[in-house]
Structure 1
Amino acid sequence: MDFNIVGWFEIPVSDMERAKAFYDAVFQVEIKLQDFGGTKMGWFPSDHGKPGAAGTLIQNKDWYKPSESDGVLIYFNSLDLQNELGRIEPSGGKIVQSKTQISPEIGYMAVFLDSEGNRIALHSRQ
């Protein structure tokens, strides 16, 4: 296979402005907003020459519902996930599992609830 198996992700939101502010603050990025005839999308920055999948925040009340426990768990990569953990609660989220070592070879993980109530994870080598 000459491509990453994960090609795209969408994180459901109820309030796009609140979700944008949360992710902008936690990851120190600028989410770009776009409205496609009632479906609002907030684009995470991506560089297609680097590893990892691209994705968006997405708001459409008929098709997407934030969830704390149902569905897929997305992991965001980090240099040291403790940096993002420190910005989660001040930005309106909640830490569910603090920085935990998976193994010395794999690194660390943590789980949080975003401003919309979605369960999201972080991964870092340190």
Structure 2
Amino acid sequence: MTTQAITVWTEVPVTDMDRAVAFYNAVFGYDMQIDSTGPNPMALFGNTMEGTGGHIYPGTPAKGGNGPTIHLALPGSLEDGVAACTKAGGTVISPAIEIPPGRFAYAIDPDGNSIGLFEPKAA
């Protein structure tokens, strides 16, 4: 087994870039901006190439949350993240799930993408 990172980047397809940017900014406390300088518009998670793990782009999401699930760290508590997700138009589909590094809940973003709302365990 290697010690190199296994997942190096994620790309999440969305149907409405403005709506998706507003959702991820509201839920995760990002300052995402749409970058149209490349061949395809995108908005980076966290709005920086330093320490980011992916972006959203115009595309066709899997139906009903049936695509891959990405877990994104919340800026605060899981309860705050669940409330922000619901208020921003997402749907939380599980109770809190505890795992050794923290806890999370599964949710669906407004485009139907499966996401995990992750609260890391306090150090």
Q: Same fold (TM over 0.5)?
A: yes
TM class, shorter-length: 0.7 to 0.9
Which digits, 9 at most, give the CA deviation of each residue in 1:69-91, with x for residues without a partner?
33311111235322211101111
Match of 2:118 among 109, 117, 123: 123
Which digits, 9 at most, give the CA deviation of each residue in 1:34-63, with x for residues without a partner?
1234x2201122473x5xx5210111xxxx
Match of 1:76 among 48, 65, 72: 72
For residue 75 of structure 1, give the secondary structure of its aligned residue in structure 2: strand
| Aligned equivalent of 1:98 | 95
> In 2, are the aligned partners of 1:12 and 1:65 still within 8 Å (CA)?
yes
Offset of residue 2 of structure 1: 5.2
| Aligned equivalent of 2:105 | 110
TM-score, normalization by structure 1? 0.78
Q: Which has the higher strand share?
A: 1
Q: Which has the higher helix share?
A: 2
> In 1, are the aligned partners of 2:23 and 2:88 still within 8 Å (CA)?
yes
| Aligned equivalent of 1:54 | 53
Give the whole-Å Cα distance in 1 for the aligned partners of 2:98 and 2:104.
6
1:93–1:69 distance in 2 versus 1, CA, 3 Å:
closer
